[in-house]
Structure 1
């Protein structure tokens, strides 16, 4: 069985193609567009331009799927379309225009899918799982491979940047504003107030980019998946102080995170606040997350 999964996120619209046999799956192809949907929110209303961007990408994906006779396709959307005031209207229009059915998953469900996907890829029976998206951040604490606490917070790398920054790369004042806002929102997770975790399982684009940047800066094997959380503030200061980069700094970013340059600082600010809040000493990056969790939960079961 060949299964297509389309993930309409706040930063990216991704399509992944999996081969599923005997309860196991293998990723055979993935495509993405950096749409930046969260940037098309005005007073938390998704603009028509944002809707048109999504439809354009989905039409492209649909043509690809048709060419390769991939008929089993499921699509879901997360924070950008879940949380906007005109969510129902926007999702209905996209379905009508593209013919692709879209499931709006709740923040709780997103956290659950994150957990199911990520924990199949790492050897951690307990700890804190964090998914920093463009428009939301999911926290999941688990013990003995069972979720004990979960929450979806209304803060993401793209949304935080849009709220606190006016230029492409933030300056030190804007970084300070992002820290204050991130601290406020993370502290609102009252159910997590007594939780500490030395290790974070990090999933999603922010941690993927942070890992690549970390490995480039600290001469680590590029296959390394561990991030020393003490280095997060150093990386933020290096690239988020003046709002302008040196040529050497520009080369590092362009080589390692070309698609994430504009949101990497805001994403790392959120990660740094979370790491300090939970006394985490390191992050272990997992390649698997919400899409794989969705498949295991809704398709393979």
Structure 2
């Protein structure tokens, strides 16, 4: 049966189509819009413009689903709408306008879905899984492929850009401000005080974009999904606007991260702080995450109970 999964994130709104038959999940296609919902949150309130943009995109997605008679549709939203003071009212407005129920998943649920989705591609029995999104960051520590600790933090790539960066790329001062907040937020998580991991699995757009830019800068194959953590500071420092952006650098950015020009450096700053905090030597990007975890948890496993 065909399923439509809609992920209303802080930076992008995505719709993915899957063919799900028993335990078999086949990804068919994806559409996405870079909306930047987190940037529409002012004084903790989601602005009407942000609500309107979400409605516009979801109506487009719904028309697509209707065209192919896809009736099994699940929509969920994460940090930008979850953390807004007017979350309930904003989500209700979107639901009524689009005619789709939208589930607001908690930070704890998001971390769990991240892990479940990535679990199928994780080779190591023990490790650290991190999802740096536009409006939040989820951290999962696991042993024997089971969650031991998890937390959702109110820091994200688009949130940092909106709060600290005046242009497209940050300057040194803005970078230092982002580093300070990331270090303070992560340092306050006492439950992870004893966690030390040499390897880190990164999921989400910040790691995807960061890895693409890493490959361009350090002449790695485009298929490479590994980054040496010690090189993150060099990667960040190369693209600060204080230094002047050469044509070569502009080409590199536009080729690697055309849709994440504003958020890639703030996201990498959070990744750098996390890698240092947990003494990680290597970061591996995984392209499975919250949507796949949602499917396994809320569709596949639940369907099994009724077989």
Task: Give me the TM-score of the superposition, normalised by structure 2.
Answer: 0.97
- 1:190-248 CA distances to partner (integer Å, 9 max, x unpaired)? 10011000011000000000111111111112111111111100010000251742111
Cα distance in 1 for residues equivalent to 2:158 and 2:141: 24
Aligned to 1:27: 27
Cα distance in 2 for residues equivalent to 1:243 and 1:287: 32
- Shifted more, 255-264 versus 162-171: the winner is 162-171
Aligned to 1:193: 193
Aligned to 2:175: 175
For the 8 Å contact 1:135–1:158, the answer to whether it is kept is: yes
Aligned to 1:204: 204
Aligned to 2:304: none
Cα distance in 2 for residues equivalent to 1:49 and 1:244: 33
Q: Runs of at least 4 residues of structure 1 off by over 3 A?
A: none
- Residue 169 of structure 1 and its aligned partner are, at CA, apart by 1.1
Cα distance in 2 for residues equivalent to 1:144 and 1:228: 24
Please, which runs of 5 or more residues in structure 1 have no aligned partner? none
- Shifted more, 17-26 versus 202-211: the winner is 17-26
Aligned to 2:266: 266
1:143-292 alignment runs, 5 A limit: 143-242=143-242, 244-292=244-292
For the 8 Å contact 1:54–1:94, the answer to whether it is kept is: yes
Please, which runs of 5 or more residues in structure 2 have no aligned partner? 302-307
SS at 2:242 equivalent: coil
Cα distance in 1 for residues equivalent to 2:166 and 2:218: 30
1:35-50 alignment runs, 5 A limit: 35-50=35-50
Aligned to 1:9: 9
For the 8 Å contact 1:95–1:101, the answer to whether it is kept is: yes
Aligned to 2:67: 67
For the 8 Å contact 1:135–1:155, the answer to whether it is kept is: yes
Cα distance in 2 for residues equivalent to 1:260 and 1:241: 16
What root-mean-square deviation, in Å, do the aligned CA atoms of Structure 1 and Structure 2 show?
0.8
- 1:120-144 CA distances to partner (integer Å, 9 max, x unpaired)? 1121211000000000000000000
- Residue 22 of structure 1 and its aligned partner are, at CA, apart by 2.6
How many residues matched? 301
SS at 1:81 equivalent: helix
